[in-house]
Chains A and B, each alone.
Chain A
Amino acid sequence: MAAAVDQSNYHNLSFLDVDRTAQRVMAPAGLKYWLWVGFCAFLVAVGGSFWTRQIYEGLGVTGYGQPTLWAIYITDFVFWVGIAHSGTLISAVLFLFRTRWRTAVYRCAETMTVFAVLTAGLFPIVHLGRPWFFYWLCPYPNERYLQPDFRSPLTWDFFAISTYLTTSTLFLSMGLIPDIANQRDISIGWRKKFYSVLACGWQGTDRQWRNFSMAYLLLAGFATPLVLSVHSVVSWDFATMQTPGMHSTIFAPYFVAGAIFSGCAMVLTLIIPMRKMLHIEDLVTIWHLDSLAKVILLTSLVITYSYSTEAFLVYYAQDPIEMTTFYQRFFGHQGYLFGGMVLCNCLIPLLLFSPSIRTNTIWLFVISIFVNIGMWLERFVLIAGSLSVATIPSQWKFYVPKVTEVMITIASFGWFLMNFSLFTKFLPIVSMTELKEGVGWLRKSARNTYPYGKAS
């Protein structure tokens, strides 16, 4: 029984075992790994060539057109920003609450955050007809009197996303320093030089730990309201518009819950194959996956409640235009997308009420994929779906993506997975420091409170 193996491993886990396992992950990679990275790079190259064509020929090569001028690229932007949020939840919010199960998975989630924000940041540029003027997005006073409008949510977005990227990167980098110093001490050759530079001379003295602990705590304290504000700001990109289907006061909490939901699902999507391929089952146990699954279940229920509230408010207000938009969303030409979204986000996650499913890695992986698909559909339905029917019926036009957008979207997954895979081989993907700090507690917890007999 796999769970029994996990637990017995935890019982005997020593500090050196933690180090050995983490170092084994970072051992020189084999052919399979480089083939995988090469495949991801190929996807990026294909997406890049389609983007080049789009820049050369204009946005006419996409399915964009009146009235749907925000569609798949903005969907991708919101999707990737959302993915990023669970990383901050697991690394910062659960740190403040001293939730111990985070220790084994938080580095993976934090890394995911940084690369997801990097991916998200590309989409507003891809979305531009003239991307070489991307710097116009930056709100700086200039000599042509094109003054930025600080009342615009798009300007808020610039500040929110750039602050989020900076904070996430610094939070990840700071947490890495003690682990990199550990790697420096045992490495040889070019790796030793590489880690020596990154470790900045860290030696784990009392003075260093004292300042580290305070700085890390304060970063976590800052990251917590930041994560709530960033996705609220993203939601206001839509909610402050007069467009039917978007003009809603519940968007901020609804988006934040959705972000945590999709992000935790993405952590599962990444970590389940990773723990198998990198042989870190004794560090990332079924117990950790079970805890993540519970977060997904909870946020799924919040999402379901949000969908219901949104529909009820439209019904209660009896505004004919909003009613029409929602009727089209549920039963219109692209109503099957809404159906798919409800299936993936509201119904399939209910399976996680079952402890045996929460402890089965195959089930968890499949459910996490459905949640990822569902959350992408949610953003698509919200953005492209609402805009398609936002005007008088004679101007309605349903958006259908063309190969350019599809390939660029696929390339974004290649870009994200390539960066993530490279990180796992060169930097510690599990936090040795925090695992050592909590190893006694984890041993006890895995032995005493792990509630289910069966797992695979």
Chain B
Amino acid sequence: MSGDIELIGVFSDDAQCAHAIEKLHHASIVEFHTFSPFPSEKMLEAVDEVREWGRSPVRKFVLAGGITGAITALVLTVGTSWEWNLNTGGRPIASITPYIVIIFEMMILFGVLGAVTSFFIKSGLPSFESATGYRTRFGADRFGLVVRTAESDSAKIEAMMREAGAEEVVREAA
């Protein structure tokens, strides 16, 4: 949108940043993203309230990975035993009890691979482009709130950010 700008609010405290997000939410402004040096529960809760994300989809990938791993291990162990159909002392060809160890380990292995893969996919990683408004301080000791807005609304949003405790609000062309 031509004429849009980006307002970058810099906060020294995550609670203040979360407060600013709540203020934006009350004003029905949802076009924003945040940066933080650690996963601040206050900020993530505030963002979640706006976006109604619910729980991360990563868990579904993990469940799928775990089930895939368990089935793969079952097929590998039972299939191999049937293929090498040797009766030793009348014991069952496919003894499920000892195979549970392998099924358990492969369930974990595939679940873990699912978790890491989905984390990368859902987080947009690897990424070679910088997110708009990123400052190196946001990886160190400051919390960032970046709002994309029309020039006409920028004064109101800047006031909200400052009211919430922003120590600095920077304007950038979108």
Residue in B37, B77, B95 whose CB lies within 8 Å of A433: B37
User: Are B109 and A211 interface neighbours, CB within 8 A?
Assistant: no
Tell me if B168 is interfacial: C-beta within 8 Å of chain A: no
CB within 8 Å: A-B pair count: 178
B60-85 interface code vs A (CB 8 A; 1 in, 0 out): 00100000000001001100110110
User: Are A205 and B58 interface neighbours, CB within 8 A?
Assistant: no
Known: A207-B124, A208-B125, A214-B56. A186 touches B136 (CB 8 A): yes
The chain B residue with its CB closest to the CB of A161 is B105
Residue in B35, B40, B111, B131 whose CB lies within 8 Å of A222: B111
Known: A201-B129, A436-B38. A185 touches B139 (CB 8 A): yes
Tell me if A353 is interfacial: C-beta within 8 Å of chain B: no
The chain A residue with its CB closest to the CB of B80 is A141
Among B136-150, those with CB < 8 Å from A are 136, 138-141
B15-58 interface code vs A (CB 8 A; 1 in, 0 out): 00000000000000000011111111001100110000101111
The chain A residue with its CB closest to the CB of B128 is A201
Chain A residues near B81: list those with CB within 8 A.
147, 150
Known: A160-B105, A185-B136. A211 touches B118 (CB 8 A): yes
User: Are B105 and A218 interface neighbours, CB within 8 A?
Assistant: no
User: Are B112 and A170 interface neighbours, CB within 8 A?
Assistant: yes
Chain A residues near B141: list those with CB within 8 A.
14-16, 19, 436
Chain A residues near B127: list those with CB within 8 A.
200-201, 203
Chain B residues near A214: list those with CB within 8 A.
55-56, 58-59, 119
Known: A150-B99, A182-B37. A203 touches B62 (CB 8 A): no
The chain A residue with its CB closest to the CB of B69 is A163
Can you spell out 21 A-B residue pairs with CB atoms less than 8 angstroms apart? A19-B141, A141-B83, A147-B81, A150-B81, A150-B98, A182-B139, A185-B136, A185-B139, A185-B140, A204-B35, A204-B36, A207-B33, A207-B124, A208-B124, A211-B119, A212-B119, A214-B59, A222-B62, A233-B101, A433-B37, A433-B39
- Chain A residues touching B, majority SS: helix
Number of interface residues of A (CB under 8 A): 54
Chain B residues near A185: list those with CB within 8 A.
136, 139-140
Closest 8 CB pairs of A and B: A201-B127, A214-B56, A147-B84, A15-B141, A215-B119, A185-B136, A200-B126, A159-B105
Smallest beta-carbon distance A199→chain B, Å: 9
Q: A200–B102 Cα gap in the complex (Å)?
A: 33
**Residues of B bordering A, CB below 8 Å:** 33-40, 43-44, 47-48, 53, 55-59, 62, 73, 76-77, 80-81, 83-84, 95, 98-99, 101-102, 104-106, 108-109, 111-113, 115-116, 118-120, 122-131, 134, 136, 138-141
Smallest beta-carbon distance B10→chain A, Å: 14
User: Are B116 and A204 interface neighbours, CB within 8 A?
Assistant: no
User: Are A204 and B138 interface neighbours, CB within 8 A?
Assistant: yes
Q: A120–B71 Cα gap in the complex (Å)?
A: 29
Chain B residues near A182: list those with CB within 8 A.
37, 139-140
User: Are B140 and A166 interface neighbours, CB within 8 A?
Assistant: no
User: Are B44 and A206 interface neighbours, CB within 8 A?
Assistant: yes
Q: A162–B109 Cα gap in the complex (Å)?
A: 9
Residue in A145, A160, A200, A211 whose CB lies within 8 Å of B58: A211
Tell me if A124 is interfacial: C-beta within 8 Å of chain B: no
User: Are B62 and A206 interface neighbours, CB within 8 A?
Assistant: no
User: Are B44 and A434 interface neighbours, CB within 8 A?
Assistant: no
Q: A19–B142 Cα gap in the complex (Å)?
A: 13
Q: A214–B118 Cα gap in the complex (Å)?
A: 10
Q: A14–B140 Cα gap in the complex (Å)?
A: 10
Tell me if A174 is interfacial: C-beta within 8 Å of chain B: yes
Known: A160-B105, A214-B59, A433-B38. A181 touches B139 (CB 8 A): yes
User: Are A156 and B98 interface neighbours, CB within 8 A?
Assistant: yes
